[in-house]
Structure 1
Amino acid sequence: MAGHAQTTVAPLTNGRAEAEAGVLRRVTVATTPTGFSGTGYVTGFTNSDTLNVAITFNNPTAGLYKLSVGYTSPYGPKVANLDVNGSKSTVAFAGTATGPAFAVSDAGTVLLPQGLNTVTIGGNYGYYGVDYMQLTAASVAPPPKQLSDPLATAGAKALHSYLADLYGTKILSGQQDDQYGNANSEVKYVLATTGKEPAIVSMDLLNYASAAVTRYGASTDAERYLTWSRSGNGRGITALIWHWRAPADNVTTANPSGSPDGAFYTANTAFNFAAALADTSGTRYHLLLNDIDLIAAQLKKFQAAGVPVLWRPLHETPGTFFWWGNQGADNFKKLWQLLYTRLTVRHQLHNLIWVYSTDATPDAAWYPGDAYVDVAGDDIYQSSATLDPNVNISGNWTARRWRFVALLLIVSAAVQPRPGSSF
């Protein structure tokens, strides 16, 4: 929401504006439990975006600020929609215990102009309370340019360096397109609508797993995707994701036929990968290895073509909706490390930039480690996404690896020229 239409201006004291001083839309001020900042806190939020608080404040100095939100979340982890001067993102709230009922959450780094600004909070995964918003002057440190793979190709190093140089200053547009080369290609639609292609195109290798190959036969998706990677003199950035269909045990209550179609969802498979990892001589462990070998054969096509890849497997933990996130952090990290080691060591794949993406509530306990990750960030599902380089330059990821925001809905209005063109 654009903030400057608000008539009520909340005092900004030492960078803090109290939520109760904002404009309340179908929410109320409460004074219990105690421990809040100011004269109360705002409560009554649900999953509806129409219940929100809009805090308009007068910022004395334009610049980059760390935005924090004081909150209470007695019903466990929650996520609130966050709107800063019309630019949309989210802020995650960890559950708060009785007693220390209030906590603070990092909402990212924002570039704010001098004068009136508005931060609006509400909706998404509701039933939390908002106490205040806090601004702290910030700066963006350049990220490291060292990849985890010491044998990384020159192309992978160059792409990583290019992205690092843009960090904190620009946003590259991206588009998921599993239909590139077909009539209903999203990239072709973006090009026809805007006259430009996205800088990054992400494509899914979900048809390369034994369950899918057994059901549908060999796929030619990788060849279709490579036509985009090679186009424009190869100036576009290729990203690959893998919705890994579990290799066995896919008959469940939700999936009585055992179809591999949605066998990346926990509900559609009974595959116990923790047990498979624990039994390295067992059949199911070797099923994991076989699937990794299948995906390696496709990734080698990109390496042979000289294409560096933003490789984003095993995404959206600590969420449990995918099978690789359903058996705890330790087992997830073992699976990630197995995948990394087999692809880089056994299959000598060195064109990969390894991207670890959490869901909207990152947990450092799930982080595979700097030796296995090059870029870390969030998958954010935003119903009305606005890509704005002033918002979410950095966020709640605090590991050494720098933050990569993977917005699942990218709008064509944000399309930028492909790398190599002028910005």
Structure 2
Amino acid sequence: MKTTVTKLLATVAAASTIFGMSTLPAFAAEGKSASNGNSVNISDVNATAETRALFDKLKNSGKGDLRFGQQHATDENISSSASQGDVYETTGKYPAVFGWDAGLALRGAEKPGSGADKNANAKALAQNITDADSKGAIVTLSAHWCNPGTGKDFNDTTAVASELLPGGKYSGTFNKELDAIAATAQRAKRSDGTLIPIIFRPLHENNGSWFWWGATHASASEYKELYRYIVDYLRDVKDVHNLLYDYSPGGVFNGDSTDYLATYPGDQWVDVLGYDEYDSDDSADDSSAWINMWSRI
């Protein structure tokens, strides 16, 4: 039981890194004026008031602030009695940040998706987002997309990035993935019809080699163009205006911004800065070494 609990805590800690820490250093795009006179400047000049408010809330977080988050906070659990998730059963409170993977959920490979109907899965994911928002949570989405060229899983590293932009061989296939993201975001509404703001984290951990959009399969320029295209398509073509865009490489950079910014798409396409780091060491009964590492960042 102790080992199980330790692994659960390590998993939760990793999730808080991805979906908690990444929400703290919000980045304002230069030259973008709010249409309503608000001083909040983000990548989408037509962003909803609620999306601007979330950005402002994150941007003005105090030094040392941390928002604890978890993937599948309420729809997955270790305890058989945790109907509202293990964190709620343990603490009586929900995590501050709820996360899902849209790429997996929308093709039915992960909850709340089920089956191959992307439209039905988009509806189910939107319902979960609405529930999380009603609990006061910030919502994040990542995307483990299948390789658009081969149709195989996200870890099929056949190079395709150069063929995903307009005119590319697999552009239409990739657009369908983005259409499903748009459908989810536009269905995620509060009871009064207000769209729920979502932090979207596409093409994450790109400095690694394990995804088809990774460093050894897409050049820095290809990555930047693809990231920009995702934002442009969702924002300008699909009229999605309740997303904040998160740039999130993987690994610890020890305070050196050079490598971190090597594939940075630019201020006009990024709202939130983050990165992923995992505690995968099961040799000890706690995560103290991993936690101490964060104090040096």
TM-score with structure 1 setting the length: 0.50
- Indicate the residue corresponding to 1:162 in structure 2: 57
> What letter corresponds to residue 176 of structure 2 in structure 1?
N
Aligned residue runs from structure 1 range 19-418, under 5 A: 144=28, 145-177=40-72, 180-181=74-75, 188-205=85-102, 206-208=104-106, 216-218=116-118, 219=121, 220-232=123-135, 235-250=136-151, 260=152, 263-265=153-155, 268=156, 270=158, 272-277=160-165, 280-302=166-188, 305-325=194-214, 326-360=217-251, 361=253, 362-383=259-280, 385=287, 392=294, 395=297
* Unmatched runs of 5 consecutive residues or more in structure 2: 1-12, 15-24, 29-39, 254-258, 281-285
Deviation at 1:224, TM superposition (A): 4.4
* Amino acid aligned to 1:334: E
Q: Which secondary structure does the structure 1 equivalent of 2:206 belong to?
A: coil
Contact 1:169 1:389 in 2 (8 A): no
1:380 partner SS: coil
1:155-183 residue CA offsets vs partner (Å, 9 max, x unmatched): 11111111122241311111111x74467
**One-letter amino acid of the counterpart of residue 324, structure 1:** W
Cα drift, residue 275 of structure 1: 3.3
Indicate how the Cα distance of structure 1 residues 370 and 160 shifts in structure 2: closer, same or farther if over 3 A, else same: same
Separation (CA, whole Å) in 2 of partners of 1:187 and 1:172: 19
Instruction: Provide the secondary structure at the position in 2 that maps to 1:379.
Output: coil
1: CA distance between counterparts of 2:75 and 2:108? Answer: 24
Q: CA deviation at 1:293?
A: 1.4
Q: CA deviation at 1:200?
A: 0.7
Q: Distance in 2 between matches of 1:386 and 1:186?
A: 29
Distance (whole Å) between structure 1 residues aligned to residue 187 and residue 245 of structure 2: 17
Distance in 1, Cα, partners of 2:94 & 2:109 = 34
Root-mean-square deviation (CA, aligned residues, Å) is 3.6
What amino acid sits opposite 2:154 in the alignment?
Answer: F
**Which structure has the highest strand share of the two?**
1
In structure 2, distance between residues paired with 1:390 and 1:172: 17
Distance 1:169 1:393 in 2: 10
Alpha-carbon separation, structure 2, partners of 1:181 and 1:281: 40
Give the AA of the match of 2:271: D
Q: Rg bigger for which structure?
A: 1
Q: Identity across aligned pairs (percent)? A: 29
Change (3 A) 1:365 1:149: same
Work out whether residues 171 and 388 of structure 1, in 8 Å CA contact, stay in contact via their aligned partners in 2: no
CA distance in 1, matches of 2:26, 2:181: 33
Q: 1:319 to 1:204 in 2, by over 3 A?
A: same
Whether the 8 Å contact between 2:157 and 2:210 is mirrored in structure 1 is no
| Alignment partners' CA distance in 1, 2:109 and 2:162 | 19
Residues 164 and 171 of structure 2 are in contact (CA less than 8 Å); yes or no, is this contact kept in structure 1? yes
1:390–1:307 CA distance, 2 compared to 1 (3 A): farther
CA deviation map 1:116-156 (0-9, x unaligned): xxxxxxxxxxxxxxxxxxxxxxxxx9975421211111111
Contact 1:333 1:367 in 2 (8 A): yes
1:151 maps to a residue whose letter is: N
Structure with higher RCO (Cα < 8 A, 6+ apart): 2
What is the deviation of 1:381? 0.9
| CA deviation after TM superposition for structure 1 residue 336, in Å | 0.4
Who is 1:4 aligned against?
Answer: none
In the TM superposition, residue 284 of structure 1 has moved relative to its aligned partner by 1.2
Report the Cα offset of residue 366 of structure 1. Answer: 0.4
Q: CA deviation at 1:238?
A: 1.0
Distance 1:301 1:385, change over 3 A: farther
Q: For residue 352 of structure 1, what is the amino acid of its counterpart?
A: L
1:282 Cα offset (Å):
4.3
Q: Distance in 2 between matches of 1:196 and 1:327?
A: 41
Aligned residue-pair number: 239
Amino acid at match of 1:270: T
